Amino acid sequence: MDNIAWMAWTAPTAIFFVLLAATLAVMTWLAVAYPEAERVGILRIPTTRGDRLFLSLISAAVIHLAWIGFFGSDPLATLPIGADGLELSSLWLATALSLLFAVAIFRNV
Amino acid sequence: MDKTVNQKAWFLVLPVFAIVAFSAILPLMTVVNYSVQDTFGNNQFFWNGVGWFKELLDPSSDLGERFFASLARNLAFSAIILAIEVPLGIVVALAMPRHGWTVALCLVIMALPLLIPWNVVGTIWQIFGRPDIGLLGYSLNGLGIDYNYVSNAFDAWATVVVMDVWHWTSLVALLCYAGLKSIPDAYYQAAQIDGASRWAVFTAIQLPKMHRVLLIAVLLRFMDSFMIYTEPFVVTGGGPGNSTTFVSIELVKIALGQFDLGKAAALSIVYNLIIIIVCWVFYTVMTHAGADRDNNPGSA
């Protein structure tokens, strides 16, 4: 592990990238198993599932950054997990919002 | 559209993907890792959560103030050079000869600035503008204009903008020239028969035909000016004060000057996000504009 110490992995970022890789793997499998046709949505441009995933990820990044910029990441509640409890950041609301937005993108764009 | 899309050819891209993984994806992952941590070197890292992002997006903090100020400067710079280079490039392309040996001569001369490395361009202008030994600086001061890019913010901006215009207008001009060359002579003959004015030919034939190359030119010039580093760094070093410190210069100062890897990583991610969004918008407009024209050729 010493030779990748410079990469400074942490559990949260590792989980983030594993989820991202899993999403891409599922999308790749979907594209092979269920080939799709482009369709034109509310942006009036033809999009594929991949385009819609890209838009969802980019919007998720923007939503999280905007949330940090406007509302910060103050603790919302404390879950009764562990000795001191697990603080739940208000940033999870941004995550929820991003998921809703992603659903909207996949349905309408 | 009911045709299904077959994407299997993407598997042929796997070798390139392996190279890109080492040269771009792994470093990018590392940047994400750094952005949530703090370090004092020696590969020792401390968890900081979204702390750097909070600081970066808060204009009242030192980091946020520097980020938003350099971003505003960078956008202003991009806007200025686009406003100059695109019309100038079109005019130059229109003035270039269409036939004869002067075509080759023109193309070579136009291509010369594009072949000069960024740092050399910076050095050329750094010396060219010096009031004591530079031709430009000495002449301007000789004419009674108090020009000094080291101490005056306006002069520094003017120098950096003129340098960029000198370096890159030919790119816009060459792209426009290629667009103009693709217009068949029949269009001009028809315009002549109709008795169209020079301006009507430009707005009704030449500009629409240059539409796509102009979009590419704007995209290229925007991206290049938005990530500009070497030339202003060599000429002004970001000064006087912070007046020509653009985002990438600020980024290098934070990452390598102060060795604040966490702050620099957070800034890089936001910087990268802006670039991805702009690229996507341009790319979509570009491909969409083409599709539009293919579907209803009458409108173009």
CATH assignment of the domain containing B178: 1.10.3720.10
What's the pTM?
0.85
Q: Measured between CB atoms, does B45 come within 8 Å of chain A?
A: yes
Per-residue model confidence (pLDDT) at position B290: 58
How many domains does chain B contain in total?
Answer: 1
- Does B4 map to a domain? no
The answer to whether the CB atoms of B5 and A9 lie below 8 A apart is no
- Mean pLDDT score across all residues of chain B: 88
- Does B11 map to a domain? no
Reading the block at residue A12, the tokens are 């949260």
**pLDDT (tens digit per residue) in B49-94:** 888 898 888 888 898 899 999 999 999 999 999 999 999 999 999 9
- Does B162 map to a domain? yes
Distance from CA of A58 to the nearest CA of B (A): 8
Per-residue model confidence (pLDDT) at position B2: 62
- Helix pair angle (A49-71, A11-33), 10° resolution: 160
- Does B119 map to a domain? yes
Distance from CA of B271 to the nearest CA of A (A): 12
- Region B146-167: mean pLDDT is 91
d(CA A43, CA A65): 23
Q: Measured between CB atoms, does A45 come within 8 Å of chain B?
A: yes
The answer to whether the CB atoms of B291 and A6 lie below 8 A apart is no
- Region B168-172: mean pLDDT is 94
Per-residue model confidence (pLDDT) at position B19: 94
Of the pLDDT bands very low, low, confident and very high (cuts 50, 70, 90), residue B291 is low
Sketch the domain layout of chain A as residue ranges. Answer: 2-108
Per-residue model confidence (pLDDT) at position A1: 66
Side-chain-side CA neighbours of residue B137 (13 Å): 20
Nearest CB neighbour to B33, from listed A7, A54, A58: A7
- Does B160 map to a domain? yes
Q: Measured between CB atoms, does B284 come within 8 Å of chain A?
A: yes
Q: Which of B66, B44, B71 is nearest to B261 (CA)?
A: B44
More confident residue, B16 or A85: B16
Closest chain A residue to the Cα of B274, Cα to Cα: A62
SS3 state at B70: helix
Between the alpha carbon of residue B224 and those of residues B25, B77, B157, B220, B248, the distances in Å are 21, 11, 17, 6, 11
Closest chain A residue to the Cα of B56, Cα to Cα: A69
**pLDDT (tens digit per residue) in B229-277:** 998 999 888 878 888 899 999 999 998 988 889 999 999 999 999 999 9
More confident residue, B7 or A74: A74
pLDDT at B116 over 80: yes
**Which segment of B21-25, B83-87, B198-202, B238-242 scores lowest on mean pLDDT?**
B238-242
d(CA B58, CA B278): 23
- Does B7 map to a domain? no
Nearest CB neighbour to B7, from listed A31, A54, A91: A31
Q: Measured between CB atoms, does A34 come within 8 Å of chain B?
A: no
Provide the residue range defining the domain that includes B57.
22-291
- Does B9 map to a domain? no
Per-residue model confidence (pLDDT) at position B299: 41
Per-residue model confidence (pLDDT) at position B297: 45
